[in-house]
Amino acid sequence: MNKTFFAAIIMATLPIACSAPSSETTETTESVEAAIAEISDDMKLPVFTGPSGSENVAVSGYDTVSYFEGDGMPVEGSKDHRVKYNGVEYHFASAENAEKFQAEPAKFAPQYGGHCAWAASRGKLASGDPTLYKIVDGKLYLNFNQKVQDTWNEDIPGFIGKADKAFPEIPADARYDDA
């Protein structure tokens, strides 16, 4: 699948790379837009993309693969390396990280759609801060703020168990600012 995807990108961008500069920018934009990988699975739960869906970018644009690789510190992604997963854009710091995400999105996507893990344990939605996180059993969990994360840290397994039961009951079109 990855070889096919990259071959498609190369074929789609070859005419742009090999052509003379043009005053027309719409052709370039359309070609780049067509090169965004779109993947989907059966996850139809709400994903945090910011207040009222601002920009429809998950995890505030942070590279979710970066949480698991290197020094484990999250880094901001770029629009140059993006993958659309279940209708939401994820940005990555490199093409390599975008490819890794595309191959295994469930491995790298944050739990509870990037919403606060503690709020999810209460059957509620709250924004997840990409700088307040913990990886537990190979899964990424975000929290709303430091105080909430301190509370969550007191009983991580208990809160995860509660959230795993409560989060699927939240309607897919729910927003954290109206939950």
pLDDT digits (tens, 9 = 90+) for 85-137: 988 899 999 999 999 999 999 999 999 999 999 999 999 999 999 999 999 99
Q: Measured in whole angstroms, how far is the alpha carbon of residue 71 from the centre of its chain?
A: 19
Residue 28 lies in a domain: no
For residue 159, is pLDDT > 90? yes
| 125 lies in some domain | yes
Count of domains observed in the chain:
1
Is 35 within the bounds of a domain? no
- Which 3 state secondary structure label does DSSP give 92? strand
* Residue 92 forms part of a structural domain: yes
Residue found under tokens 């742009």: 16
Residue 52 lies in a domain: yes
Computed over every residue of the chain, the mean pLDDT equals: 79
Evaluate if residue 21 carries a pLDDT over 60: no
Q: Residue 174's pLDDT is what?
A: 82
Is 50 exceeded by the pLDDT of residue 74? yes
According to the model, what pLDDT value does residue 54 have? 55
Structure tokens at 42: 């059966």
Extract the tokens encoding 5.
Answer: 């995807």
Q: What is the pLDDT of residues 9-19, one digit of tens each?
A: 333 433 333 33
Whether 169 contacts 110, CB under 8 Å: no
- Residue 66 predicted with pLDDT over 50: yes
Residue 156 sits in which domain range?
A: 2-19+41-169
